[in-house]
Amino acid sequence: MDKVEGLPLSQIWNTLKMLQKLQVLLAMTRLQKQWMNVSFSHYGSFFYATDVKPLTGNHYARDGKTISDSTFAIGPTTERDWFGASRSLLDIEKGPYERIKQDSDDAVAGTEPVVEAKETMGDLWPDKGFIEHEHYDDCKAALREVKAQILEQLADNDKKRAEYKRYWPFE
């Protein structure tokens, strides 16, 4: 993609008349509607095809028609959530994903240990990050136990367990 010439909208927005603002919003809505009619074969980020190894079957569909385009390809995700707080160092798959439904189901399943932990801890669960001072030591002990249980469920070998422990968000 190329940069469009002109001024950023944020620089001129306050100088626009109400009708002009409405026209901009309608134009943006039309573009979003067009994008809503496009679906992709994989989940990931857009790249020029020469910058990534295109997957077999890489295509998109617009208005029900499959379109193969050799100019662009879907590659690994570049979403910020995948790279912040040293997550870029983790040896995890960043796509592109063919099985978005399966991956979504797996992600939901990954929340189950947290739900179980919350149920197990009961009143000691640090709701919204806060606990009462008199329950602090009990809560810390319960969280250590929950951490061990979650690591046991998620990490099937010592290397993975050590990696999870290294990036665990709290102690």
Domain-ending residue, one of 51, 83, 98: 98
pTM: 0.42
Instruction: Specify whether 88 is located in the same domain as 105.
Output: no
**What's the pLDDT tens digit per position in 119-168?**
888 888 877 677 788 888 988 888 888 888 878 877 788 888 888 777 77
Give the count of domains, the chain: 2
Instruction: Specify whether 105 is located in the same domain as 162.
Output: yes
* 25/18 Cα distance (integer angstroms): 11
* Burial category of 19 from C-beta neighbours within 10 Å (exposed 0-12, middle 13-18, buried 19 and up): exposed
Residues spanned by the domain of 117 = 99-167
Residue 129 within any structural domain of the chain: yes
Residue 112 within any structural domain of the chain: yes
pLDDT given at position 101:
60
Domain-ending residue, one of 65, 98, 131: 98
**What's the pLDDT tens digit per position in 156-168?**
888 888 887 777 7
What is the pairing mode between strands 38-40 and 60-62? antiparallel
**What's the pLDDT tens digit per position in 66-115?**
877 778 888 888 887 777 777 777 777 777 877 666 666 666 666 777 78
pLDDT given at position 128:
66
Residue 33 within any structural domain of the chain: no
